[in-house]
Amino acid sequence: MSTMTLACAQRMLPVGPGGRPAPDLAGHLAAHGPLAIPIRNDPGWKAAVRRAVAESGLLGRGGAGFPAAAKWDAIDGGRHRPLVVVNAMEGEPASAKDRVLLGRAPHLVLDGAEVAAAVIGASEIAICVADHNDPAAASIEAAIAERRRAGMSVRRISVRRPPGGYVTGEESSLVSWLSSGRALPFLRTDKSVPVTVGRGPALVHNAETLSQVALIARHGPAWSRGLGTTEAPGSTLVTVTGAVSSPGVLEVELGTPVADIVARAGADTELSAVLLGGYGGAWLDAAQLAVPYAPGPLSAAGASQGVGVIIALPRTSCGVAETARIVRYMAGESVGQCGPCIFGLPAIADDLEQLRSGRADAGVVDRIQMRAGTVEGRGACRHPDGVVRLVRSALVVFAADTLDHARGRPCSGRASPTVLSFPEGAAGARRSA
């Protein structure tokens, strides 16, 4: 998979006249310049950085889109020292942006983590990289060693290797693993209350979010808002896959039409739909691709940025079949903690596979809708809710195909090779290939 950057947005992943900067410290400083972080407590500097992050309008890039500044404000400076957690788990199979960042710009991620730690008073940073992602872990470990030799960090920085999996990267699941060694998500009714690791609060940010923090700390909020729109300022990373000739990670200006993003990746001219936000995201009909890639317009279209994934579906593929593959995979990624995941998701996957084959009974679509309503909002985390969002969007975008499949007339596209990515041996690849 390649890593391209659009000409209008080369901030996190710059490409200069000499090509990409080296990922080492010298290359990083040549590309971005130094970043002064006070060694001792500096209330004025802290306040200025907090204000800059708030004024930049930075939203988290891990999927939820929660305002970064609000997370910082929730750390109240109590008795226990906070911990900064860099979430580079990237459990979404279709996403590559975090491993690209850790491979090409590890020092930018570390800069952002150091800034966040200095602002909230953390003495330790934990960088979480999935146990199967050795290249990313090696890259960030090398960058940490470089900074130690250069005397650039006064904080403890460690690389942790949780088990890879879709749910492990969910915030509550990740801090559970850090605290107990078990990656079990828990119900959070108020997202403004910080999660904890041990007895202290934890500030958990996605790797891309912290890269943005590093740039804002250098250049300020006005510079950050120099790209994007008033409501959605800045740039963001997007992994574009599927029916494209150059799949990879693009850095794009927020507000760029989705059609322009997939075209830059060499999209097939005959698309039927795109999947936005990853496997817990939503399908968008090809007729809607003029929509700007930004939270407000995407929400109005029934979609979201999610984890920054766009998957292009060609007209030769079957959206019902691809949805069945995803749901089977997602059902297999449950941690087995709650009824909606243990019973509901496998049942929906079974129904979709019957629908895909054209051998379902007449009530299959109504049954899928009923099951979706039953599991929605009833899990300890949002894993089942993402599946529901995906399935409901599929029943709308692929309504005509769904009807034909339900009547026993499945389309020829159901036999087409999948355009999706799954971990080796995953349920989605095995049972619905």
Residues 218 and 249 occupy one common structural domain: no
In a domain, 307, yes or no: yes
Whether 6 has a pLDDT exceeding 70, the answer reads no
For CA atoms 325, 328, 421, 174, the dihedral sign is positive
What pLDDT was estimated at residue 1? 61
Task: Clarify whether residues 286 and 360 are in a common domain.
Answer: no
When pLDDT is cut at 50, 70 and 90, the band that residue 426 belongs to is low
Distances (CA, A) of 256 to 62, 289, 291, 294, 411: 20, 11, 8, 8, 33
pLDDT in tens, 39-60: 888 999 999 999 999 999 999 8
Looking at residue 230, its pLDDT comes to: 92
- What are the tens digits of pLDDT across the range 213-225? 999 999 999 999 9
Q: Residue 24: which residues within 8 A CB-CB, separation 6 or more?
A: 107, 142, 143, 146
CATH number of the domain enclosing 388:
1.20.1440.230
Q: Is residue 375 part of a domain?
A: yes
Q: Which amino acid is at 19?
A: G
Is 255 in the same domain as 332? no
The answer to whether 398 and 290 have CB atoms below 8 angstroms apart is no
| Domain boundary, last residue among 182, 204, 224 | 224
So what's the pLDDT on residue 186? 82
Looking at 179, 200, 224, the residue that finishes a domain is: 224
The predicted structure's pLDDT at residue 9: 62
* Token pair of 107 as six digits: 């020092």
CATH of the domain at 57: 3.40.50.11540
Q: How many helices (H) and strands (E) does the chain have?
A: 18, 11
What number is the average pLDDT over the span 155-165? 94
Instruction: Give tens-digit pLDDT for 105-131.
Output: 999 999 999 999 999 999 999 999 999
In the β-sheet with 2-3, what is the strand arrangement from edge to edge?
A: 2-3, 248-253, 235-242, 309-314, 271-276, 282-285
Strands of 259-343 (E only): list them. Answer: 271-276, 282-285, 309-314
Q: What is the count of structural domains for the chain?
A: 3
**3-class state of residue 195 by DSSP:** strand
The maximal CA–CA distance of the chain, rounded, in angstroms, is 70
* pLDDT value of position 35: 93
Query: Do 157 and 180 belong together in one domain?
Result: yes
Q: Read off the pLDDT of residues 168-181 as tens digits, 9 standing for 90 and up.
A: 888 889 999 999 99
Q: What is the DSSP letter of 227?
A: S
Do 147 and 96 fall into the same domain?
A: yes
304 and 327 in one domain?
no
Q: Are residues 163 and 248 in the same domain?
A: no
| 367-408 pLDDT, tens digit each | 999 999 898 877 777 888 999 999 999 999 999 999 999 999
Query: Could you tell me if residue 98 is inside a domain?
Result: yes
Is the pLDDT higher at 32 or at 1? 32
Same domain, 83 and 189: yes
- Per residue in 66-97, pLDDT (tens digit) is 889 999 998 877 778 999 999 999 999 999 99
Token pair belonging to 239:
């992994």
Between 2-11, 58-67, 222-231, the lowest mean confidence (pLDDT) is in 2-11
Tell me: do 79 and 202 sit in the same domain.
Answer: yes
Q: Give the pair of three-digit tokens for residue 136.
A: 């990313």
pLDDT at position 7 over 50: no
Final residue in a domain of this structure, among 224, 243, 274: 224
What confidence category does residue 16 fall into, taking pLDDT thresholds of 50, 70 and 90?
A: low
Per-residue pLDDT, 427? 57
How many CB atoms are located within 10 Å of the residue 358 CB?
16
- The C-alpha atoms of residue 401 and residue 413 are separated, in whole angstroms, by 10
Contact indicator for 268, 297 with CB cutoff of 8 Å: no
In a domain, 2, yes or no: no
pLDDT of residue 332: 92
For residue 366, tell me if it sits in a domain: yes
Please provide the average confidence, as pLDDT, over all residues in the chain.
Answer: 90
**pLDDT band of 13, cuts 50, 70, 90:** confident
User: Phi/psi of residue 130, each to 5°?
Assistant: -55, 145
Residue 4 included in any domain: no
* Residues 293-316: tens digit of each pLDDT: 999 999 999 999 999 999 999 999
pLDDT at 348: 95
Domain range holding 72? 21-224
Contacts of 168 (CB under 8 A, 6+ apart): 89, 91, 130, 162, 174, 177, 183
